[in-house]
Amino acid sequence: MNDNISDNDLIKLFNQNQLFRLFNLTVLEADTKEGTIKVEFDVDKKFCNPAGDVQGGIVSGLVDDATALAYIFQNKFKKRPPTIELKTNFLYPTKPGKVIGFGKVVKSGKNIVFLEGRLEQDNRIVVTATSTCVSVDMPQINFKKLMGENENNEK
């Protein structure tokens, strides 16, 4: 990945792939200098418990994705942060539908990364989270192949 790639180009590249379609994740904004990201999920009702709320483990996964992506984007897809510990605060039930996620790199050292995030729904914070992660190299990805392009940039 080119270190000089713009934040907007990173967003476009990410949003074209199919890796995060489980929760219909779309990156809306990213600031690689600040280590922040804003994403949108469209959560299907199949992830709800009998009460009609999105199951807590799924919600934790959503906020974990948002926080991790802040670090991944900041490092231009060269590093990733497998989670060591995730502390999730469920402030209100999360319902199926649109959920906005925010992630932020709080501190990044040689080996350990501290992240924070939140989920909002209907202009209300429904979840907050902090996580401690380990920084590891991202597996090599052939982005052209991922995007369905051949070596000549043809689709």
Give pTM, 2 decimals.
0.84
Q: Which residue, among 153, 79, 142, has the nearest Cα to 110 in the 3D structure?
A: 79
**What pLDDT score does 2 carry?**
60
Calculate the alpha carbon distances from 117 to 2, 23, 28, 70, 101 in Å.
Answer: 27, 17, 15, 9, 7
Is residue 141 over pLDDT 90? no
**What pLDDT score does 115 carry?**
98
Contacts of 97 (CB under 8 A, 6+ apart): 42, 43, 121
Tokens standing for residue 76? 């231009």
Distance CA 78, CA 76 (A): 6
Distance CA 147, CA 94 (A): 32
Complete domains list, the chain, with CATH: 7-146 (3.10.129.10)
Q: Which residue, among 66, 58, 74, 60, has the nearest Cα to 135 in the 3D structure?
A: 74
pLDDT digits (tens, 9 = 90+) for 53-112: 999 999 999 999 999 999 999 999 899 999 999 999 999 999 999 999 999 999 999 999
- Is residue 47 a contact partner of residue 55, using CB atoms and an 8 Å limit? yes
